[in-house]
Structures are given as structure tokens and as C-alpha cells.
Structure 1
Amino acid sequence: MKHKNNTFVLIFFIIIAFIVAGFKLDFIEKGGAEKDSEAVIQKDEIKKNSNEEEKVEKKKTVKGKSLDDKNLSRDNMVNFNFEPLSEEVINKINGVSWKQGAPVELKDLSYVKVLHWGFDGKEHIGELIVHKKVAKEVAQIFRELYEAKFPIEKIKLIDEYNANDDLSMEDNNTSAFCYREVAGKKGTLSKHSYGIAIDINPIQNPYIKGEKISPAAGKEYKNRKNVKKGMIVKGDICYKVFKERGWIWGGEWKTLKDYQHFQKQIDLKKE
């Protein structure tokens, strides 16, 4: 009888042990599932934050305005692109910077949109019209100037000044194509008439011939050894990006100095 009672006691403890073990196993599995769930949630949060940061880092720009939080736009992003003149651009320049008798046809010109750092330390959108044969490298040049943070006060089509080069220079505007004669040389077309010349920061980089300085505000920058913001000097980034692509700099001319001026020697007739 005693032996039989001991057997019942042993069976009772075995049953209790199985119940306790089952409870612990269920608790561990639930705990693991909760941790896995937390890990998934954390992973999703990290991915979400990463995507939001990536969106903020993309450059969003609005035509003609500086880039700040007030005018960010997905619909107007700039990537230093160039393209044939649109109908809108043609309507804007026809009869202004381009006229009948110009040495290039409208179909030979390209519209280039760029980003640049202004004198205010902010990013701005600029636009240029150049000959289609130099459009790609002009876009590349201004990309490199942008990446180097070379300051350019403004880059507008000269049509904003009714194609008046003096007004454009006085406003320190960087520009390219304009059907016009060389200053002081009646009957001689400027390289700007072909879309193969660009003037950069005219006030900081004036035209100097004898006592003549143009624009007049450029007198402050006559001393080229006293380098100030926006000036172009031999060996700097602006000089290099043009020269390494075969452009000629007016700052190296002998009889006069045109520090703002770069032009490309190219056979426009050759396809």
C-alpha cells in the first residue's frame, strides 16, 4: 500500500513539472514574438526617416528665385540641362536679342538652365542662350562653378534689359547670346552674336581700355591683385573651367582687358 502511494505522488509531481514547463515555453515564445514585432517597427521607422531625409536633400528650385524653404517646388527642378529654344523663349527673344539678319538661326541656339551661388550666399537659378555646339560644355562649366561655389550675382537673359549690353553690365548680369556689334567697332559683330561668348560678373570683371572702364562701377576692381568676391583671376576655378575647354579669356588680351569675357573659337559651319 505504501509503495502504491509513492507511485501516485511521483506521477503527481511529473504532471506538475510538465504544466510548469509548458507555461515557461509559451511565455518565451510570446516574448520573442513581441521583440520581433518591435524590431520590424524600428526598421520601418528607420526606413521612413531615411526616405524623408532623402527627399529633403534633393534640390528643388523655382525659376527666377533664390532657393529657400518658402519656394521649394517638385515641379521645377534644375539639373544643368540644355535644350532647343522653346516657343516661349523664341517669343521672348525674337526682335530683341535675336533679329532678322543675325548670323545664327534660332534653330542653332540652345537654352541652358543652371544653378549658381549668388553674392547673398544663396542658390539661384540662371538661364543662358548659347550656340547649340557649345551648349553641353557650357552646362558642364556652370555645374563646376556651382560645385566650387564660385559666386555669380545673377544670370538672366539679356532680353530682360531689352538687349542693352550697358544696362546688363551695370546690373552685374552674367549673359551670353546677343546679336550686337563689338563695342567701339561699328560693322564688326561680337562673338556674342554667334552664341559663343559669355560675360561673367561685369562689375567685378570690367572692360578696360586706356582710361575707359565699363561698367563704371568696375573702377573699384581695376587693381586685379586685390582679389575680391566675384573677380576672375588667372589660375582660379572660373579661369580653369573655361580654359581647359579651349575658351579664350579677355583678361589675357594685350591691347585691352576684358576680364568678364570668355569666347570659344569654333567652326560653326562644320557639322
Structure 2
Amino acid sequence: MVLGRLSAFVLMLVATLVVSGLPAHAADPLATTLTVDSPAAFADQEVPVSVELVAEDATPVVGAAVHLERRVDGTWSEVALLVTDDAGRAEVLQPLARDAADNAFRARFEGDATYAAARSGRHDAPMERRNGVVTVGGPGKVVDEQTVELRLRWRTGNGTPVSGRVLLQRRLPGGDWKKYRRLRTDDEGSAVLEIRPRTDTRWRVKAPRLDWVRADRSRVHRVDNLPPGTPVTLPRAAPRPAISLPDQPHAKGEGANPTVSTIPNAMWRQMTGRSWHRGCPVGRSGLRLLRINYWSYDGYRHRGEVVARTDAIDNIRGALTAMYRRELPLRSLYRVDRFGWSSRLDGADDYKSMRSGNTSAFNCRSVVGRPGVRSPHAYGRAFDVNTWENPYHSSHGWTPNGWWPSRSHARVAWRSRQHVVVRIMLNHGFRWTYGTEDSQHFDVPAPSGRVARVPAAACGDEVCD
């Protein structure tokens, strides 16, 4: 009876609550939205990082504790505990790092009885890039074979040093810009590199774009290479060689640095069919190769080659070493094989060698202008020096030009036994065999004491070269 009345009461109470619209259980926490924001700024500046927490009905959540986290070196860590104001906002100053990856923020709200917990998305603080200014400088001239320092500087537009890797580029005469080296500027934004350019060079630096700095390219820095010796000054009216040759390799070692060796296999293959062929009076075993440094007409040091007979190579080595010490130049010192075969001479093309001003020795050929008459050069003891300025009087006139025979030069052209080059040759066992009729030509006497030369009868009244 009592139980029945109680059940009826409960049913009436539930009905009353339903009719009145009141909830039958406690209210759920309201959903919230949490965001993080910051304005753009430059690296190293402090920027206000703000959080905003609002309920699902867009009303601000006031007095909420919000945890602000920052990602540094790949690890998230809390940097501030913020309490929202009447607008549901809070902020804290944070310095912007130069690495954009270290400027990532996120926030979380743990929630309470009224408001549900919330997490923000990742916010990458926007960063403005400063202008980059990269420069390269140093001396504008360097003597060949000497070193010089290039100084690189990387700064921002406001003078802040930039540390990082930059690309140093070099351009050689007639070439394109090419990578030379990558360098790292230090904490002062500086780098120093010691270079040893062997020709005129141009230099520039390219700095990459960083998270906080714009890319930049320097102005071109020019380094002119100066000769260590004294260039030859020729008369303005003097003709230049009819054939131009490329520079020989740079000199090796100090001084003349002569080395004598037998003929290497590869070189002998080059000689065969040019400066040597079957029937020559001297073979491979009777020849030697001399490699030696010399001063060129432009004042630079180069390294050349000459082949001569075994019992004459020391005379040539001594004479060229003495010329080197006195800084008496050669136009070039190529083996005559370079000029190919000449059917007119039945040997390597001495016409081309003379037209280039080349200095050479062994060449198993005929006398220039006398086909079939063997030249003294075929014996490997004859030596022609600076052939353009010291012409030869052949059967068909002066070769390779007719301008120089009546003229001399203190360093490169001789018309007298008193000239320094002739005296050096004489002092080293040579004979100036034909004098001014063939001023380029010198001979080392054969072991019997006679110069290996063609009898005058074979050449008529002409000089045999």
C-alpha cells in the first residue's frame, strides 16, 4: 500500500520536471576552441605570441590557464603558463630564432567543470627576411706564383653578421663562372682564403637564401696576375711570329730545375714519323730529353722540352740554365714534333717551328732550302734559339722573315759574338757556326772536335741549317 503510493509520487515528480523543461541530469562542459597567433617580425626580435580561447557559442573563456609550448631542436617544451583576460586572450613575448623550424608554437587548455579541454594547431610564427649583403675583396694584383688573400664578408642590411656556407666562384680569361670552393663564414660573418692564381682571375661570392636572410651575390673582384720577370719590349714596327703557340705549362720548382731522361715510349711514338725515321744517323738510345724552366717573352716562367744527342744534352742544359739565371727569354721550347711532318724537309716541319719563333734541337731532316741534303740537326748536336728574331739565310732568302736580319735586340736577337746569348753559348761548348747568316744556329762539336756540319760543297754558297 505504502510502496504503491511512493511509486505514484515518483512518476508525478518526473512528469512535473519534464513539463517544466528542466534537465534531468548535470550539464556537460561546453566545447572550446584554442588558437595561437603572432605578427611577422625579423629574426632576433621579440614578438608577442597570443592565445585565444572561446566557447562554442563564441563567448570568451575568462581566467583560463593555457599552456604555451615551443618547438626547439625538434623537441616541444612549455615556455609559458598564461591566464586569459576578459576577452579570452593572453600573450607573451618570445624572441624569433633565425631557424624557422624553431619558431613553431602550440597551446593546450586542460579544461574545467564548465569548459571542455582544447588544443591548438601548430602555429609557425611568420618571419620577415632581412636583405643579405655579401662581399669579396682583397688585393687587386698578385705576382705570379705568389699568394694573396681573399676576404669574404656576409652581413644583413642592418650590419648583423651572418654565419653560414657561401659559394666562391672563379672565372678565368675567356671562360665561364665556375665553382671554386664553398666556405663557411664565422660568427663575425667573415672568411679568409689564401689563393695562388696563375693567371688573371675574377671572383664573386653567392650567398644562399636563409630563413631569415635574403640571397645575395657580390660584385666581381678582379685579381690581375703580374709576371715575376721582365717582359720583352720589341720595336713597334717589328713583325710578330706568323704562327701563335699556346703557353707551355707553368714552371716547376725553383730556378731552371733541369731534368734529363731517356726518351719515354709515348714521346718516341710522337717522334717517329716526324723528327725521327728510319735511316737517321742517331737512334733512340743516342738521344736524351731535357725538361727545363725558362723565362718567356711575357715575363712568366714556363717549362719546356728539347731533345738532343746524349753527348750534347749537357751543353744545352748548361746554356739554358745560364740564360735562365740572366733572365734571357725564349719564345717557346716545344719539341719540333709538334709541327708535324714536312715532305719538303723529309722530317719535322722546321718552317713552322721557325715561323712560331720556337727553340729546338734534334730533327732528322734535310737542310732548309736544300732537299736531300742532311741537316746538322739530324745528328742531334745543333741547337736553334729564338728563330723568329734570328733568321736564317736560305737558298730562297731570309727565313722566317726579312725584317730582323739587320736588327739586333739586347735580350733576344744577336748579330755579334759579343751578344750575351752568343757568349753564353760559346762558354758552354757551342760554336756559332754560321754567324749572322744563320744567327739562330749553334753547334756542339762532335767528340773528334769537329762540328757535325754539312760540307760547304754540298750546300754551295749557302749556309746549311
**Band the TM-score falls in, shorter-chain normalisation:** 0.5 to 0.7
Return 174-183 or 243-252, whichever deviates more. 243-252
Change (3 A) 1:64 1:192: same
Q: Which residue of 2 aligns with 1:259?
A: 439
State which of 428, 432, 437 in structure 2 corresponds to 1:249.
432
Q: Which residue of 1 aligns with 2:312?
A: 134
Q: Which residue of 2 aligns with 1:115?
A: 293
Aligned-pair Cα RMSD in Å: 2.9
Is 2:257 the counterpart of 1:79? yes
State which of 248, 269, 292 in structure 2 corresponds to 1:64.
248
Change (3 A) 1:229 1:238: closer
State which of 187, 204, 223 in structure 1 corresponds to 2:389.
204
Q: Which residue of 2 aligns with 1:220?
A: 403
CA distance in 2, matches of 1:172, 1:98: 21
Is 2:237 the counterpart of 1:237? no
CA distance in 2, matches of 1:203, 1:229: 13
Instruction: Give the letter for the 1:152 counterpart.
Output: L
Instruction: Give the letter for the 1:261 counterpart.
Output: H
Is 2:269 the counterpart of 1:91? yes
Q: Which has the higher strand share?
A: 2
Change (3 A) 1:132 1:221: same
CA displacement at 1:137 relative to structure 2: 2.0
Whether the aligned pair in 1 keeps the contact of 2:275 and 2:337 (CA below 8 Å) is: yes
Relative contact order (alpha carbons < 8 A, sep ≥ 6): 1 or 2 greater? Answer: 1
**Which SS does the other structure have where 1:154 is aligned?**
coil
CA displacement at 1:249 relative to structure 2: 1.1
Is 2:370 the counterpart of 1:190? no
Q: Which residue of 1 aligns with 2:36?
A: none
CA displacement at 1:78 relative to structure 2: 6.5
Change (3 A) 1:214 1:99: same
Whether the aligned pair in 1 keeps the contact of 2:255 and 2:324 (CA below 8 Å) is: no
CA distance in 1, matches of 2:255, 2:350: 29
Whether the aligned pair in 2 keeps the contact of 1:148 and 1:237 (CA below 8 Å) is: no
Q: Deviations over 1:23-66 (max 9, x none)?
A: xxxxxxxxxxxxxxxxxxxxxxxxxxxxxxxx979xxx9x9324
Change (3 A) 1:108 1:181: same
Change (3 A) 1:92 1:77: farther
Is 2:326 the counterpart of 1:148? yes
CA distance in 1, matches of 2:255, 2:412: 25
**Which SS does the other structure have where 1:204 is aligned?**
coil
Change (3 A) 1:211 1:185: closer
Q: Which residue of 2 aligns with 1:44?
A: none
CA displacement at 1:129 relative to structure 2: 0.2
**Which SS does the other structure have where 1:188 is aligned?**
strand
**Which SS does the other structure have where 1:128 is aligned?**
strand
Q: Which residue of 1 aligns with 2:110?
A: none
CA displacement at 1:134 relative to structure 2: 1.2
Give the count of matched residue pairs: 199
Instruction: Give the letter for the 1:227 counterpart.
Output: H
CA distance in 2, matches of 1:260, 1:78: 21
Whether the aligned pair in 1 keeps the contact of 2:411 and 2:421 (CA below 8 Å) is: no
Whether the aligned pair in 1 keeps the contact of 2:255 and 2:293 (CA below 8 Å) is: no
**Whose radius of gyration is greater, 1 or 2?**
2
CA distance in 1, matches of 2:337, 2:358: 11
Please report the TM-score for the alignment, with normalisation by the length of structure 1: 0.66
**Which SS does the other structure have where 2:352 is aligned?**
helix
Instruction: Give the letter for the 1:204 counterpart.
Output: E
Whether the aligned pair in 1 keeps the contact of 2:369 and 2:394 (CA below 8 Å) is: no
Q: Which residue of 1 aligns with 2:73?
A: none
Whether the aligned pair in 2 keeps the contact of 1:177 and 1:196 (CA below 8 Å) is: yes
Change (3 A) 1:248 1:154: same
Q: Which has the higher helix share?
A: 1
Change (3 A) 1:223 1:77: closer
Q: Which residue of 1 aligns with 2:63?
A: none
Instruction: Give the letter for the 2:430 counterpart.
Output: W
List runs of 5+ in structure 1 lacking aligned partners. Answer: 1-54, 68-72
Q: Deviations over 1:160-181 (max 9, x none)?
A: 1012000111011111110111
Please report the TM-score for the alignment, with normalisation by the length of structure 2: 0.40
